[in-house]
Amino acid sequence: MKYDYDLLVIGGGAGGLTAAGMGANFGAKTLMVEADKLGGDCTWHGCIPSKTLLHLSKVAHNVSEAEKFGYQKSQGLDFSAVMEQVRSKREEVYEEADDPDIYRRMGVDIAFGRASFVDDHTVEIVSSEENKKVSARYIIIATGSKAMVPPIKGIQEISYHTNETIFELEEQPESLAIIGAGPIGIEMAQAFQRLDTEVTVFDMLPRILSNDDEEFAGMLQEYLVNEGIDFKLSADVNRLSEATGGNVKIETEINGESSTWEGSEVLIAAGRTANYERLQLEKAGIHHQKSGITVDDRCRTNIKHIYAVGDVTGRYQFTHMSEHMAKVAVTNALIKIPKKIDEKHVPWSTYTDPELAHVGTTEKELKENGMSYKTYRFPYNKIDRAITDEATEGMIKVFAKEWNGKILGATIYGRQAGDLVGEYALAMRNGVTLRNIADTIHPYPTYGLGIRRAADQWYVQSQSTWMVKLVKWVFGYRGTVPDLSDDDRIV
């Protein structure tokens, strides 16, 4: 009774919505504060519009590909209709999942305005209509992140896009430069290229998707090059400026040589930065660093009744991790059941076509840590469903203990990789081995069958010549002993 609310959630994105819904479900008097619209970056500027645009660009690409089989296009692409569909899908998701009335019916109070701390239990909410102060026994910060704009010379003198503006385009750019070869940059590169915009991607690193498997990222890069995307890697972007006709000029240095790009639009996709500047964390005594608010493995800040989840912590910039961290925070705060962030089984995916996904320890980490493991591969061109769908570009790669098949990590490049990697996440979290997966019936013909067949390779590579000879001798079999000397054979 000392405080206005049992639980106060700052931010109405994925993490905030999960936290507020759980709070009300546990019987806590809950208030959620949001500065703009519920749904956050994922609904309005991230996951939903980007995946819609990727889907529509894939439809356009499939139409072009269908010409090989006799289909004739009747007319060209209507770019404005494509972008209208993107915005329509945002509204559909908002109405079905993020509308404030959905949460009010759950018992969550909602306040719109900017929140900032007054002390460690009190927050001031400022809106165009009123300023008010509210107090809470527990507080969860879920204010997310925003696009990071690098300090490139001239950047403030030109018009550029981030993920917050690119989906508002009405006219199709003739050409698009993307600064950043991470997931956002690569996804948008393929989407716009398939919609017939000439795309050039710049990055200071020598490869795309630097956090992903180097081999598979290289395969994806080659695939995208074949689709027409121009990559300028190991590139220092020195200056941006206006050019004639309203174009933008980018001056770069690549391997010691200067070059210039000129085109219609520029998208900055150089990473994310945590949203906490306006919270006045110092008034509550909350520790933070440049990357975000500091939390422990229970999502608690240095102030024991204040938690932070999702992008604002700088730890994992994925919607699914925001939701996971929200569950961890609420469980610890409200019902005192100790729950920790599951750091070992964090899946991620880049939703290009083909997709690139991973979970667990990467091969690079395994090598750096001197861990003993064996790699089991299975190519998409041996998955019957991929053959029927003309989607044989891809490979499954699993890192596991040789003697018992315990899975250490997995990476997938190919159709539906983001969906398939979830099976490995479930297996790893629950101690399911490659042997268990191989012994589990999977439906045919599916892409999921590729997961089982990759696990079959553990059985194949566990086989030895002496074992076959022993079986022959014991049972009196008359066949030949297969050649088992090739460790890379795939059955």
Class of domain 155-270: alpha beta
Peptide bond into 445 cis (omega under 30): yes
Spatial contact of 5 and 30, defined as CB atoms under 8 Å apart: yes
Instruction: Please give the distance of CA 59 from its chain centroid, rounded to a whole number.
Output: 22
One fold for 155-270 and 348-475: no
Domain locations in the chain as residue ranges: 5-38+99-146+273-334, 155-270, 348-475
Query: Running along the chain, 491 residues long, what does each successive block of 10 average in pLDDT?
Result: 95 97 98 96 95 95 78 77 96 96 97 97 94 97 96 95 96 97 97 97 97 97 98 97 92 94 96 96 97 97 98 93 98 97 96 98 95 96 96 98 96 98 98 98 97 95 86 92 78 83
Q: How far is Cα 434 from Cα 402, in angstroms, rounded to an integer?
A: 10
Which residue from 463, 408, 470 is spatially nearest to 433, judged by alpha carbons? 408
Token code pair at residue 265? 């639009």
The pLDDT of residue 353: 97
Strands (E), 303-350: 306-308, 348-350
Annotated binding site: 51, 143-145, 180-187, 271, 311
User: Which residues have CB under 8 Å from 139's CB, separation 6+?
Assistant: 7, 8, 9, 10, 121, 123, 305, 306, 307
The pLDDT of residue 74: 63
Collapsing DSSP states into helix, strand and coil, what is residue 415? coil
Q: Which residues pair with 136 in a beta bridge?
A: 5
Annotated binding site for FAD: 51, 143-145, 311
Token code pair at residue 337? 């059941």
Q: How far is Cα 125 from Cα 117, in angstroms, rounded to an integer?
A: 9
Global pTM value:
0.94
Architecture per CATH, domain 348-475, reads as 2-Layer Sandwich (3.30)
Q: How far is Cα 68 from Cα 174, in angstroms, rounded to an integer?
A: 26
Strands (E), 122-172: 122-126, 131-141, 145-147
Annotated binding site for NAD(+): 180-187, 271
The pLDDT of residue 164: 94
Which residue from 153, 144, 150 is spatially nearest to 182, judged by alpha carbons? 150
Token code pair at residue 208? 């795309």
The pLDDT of residue 186: 98
User: Is domain 5-38+99-146+273-334 in CATH 3.40.30.10, yes or no?
Assistant: no
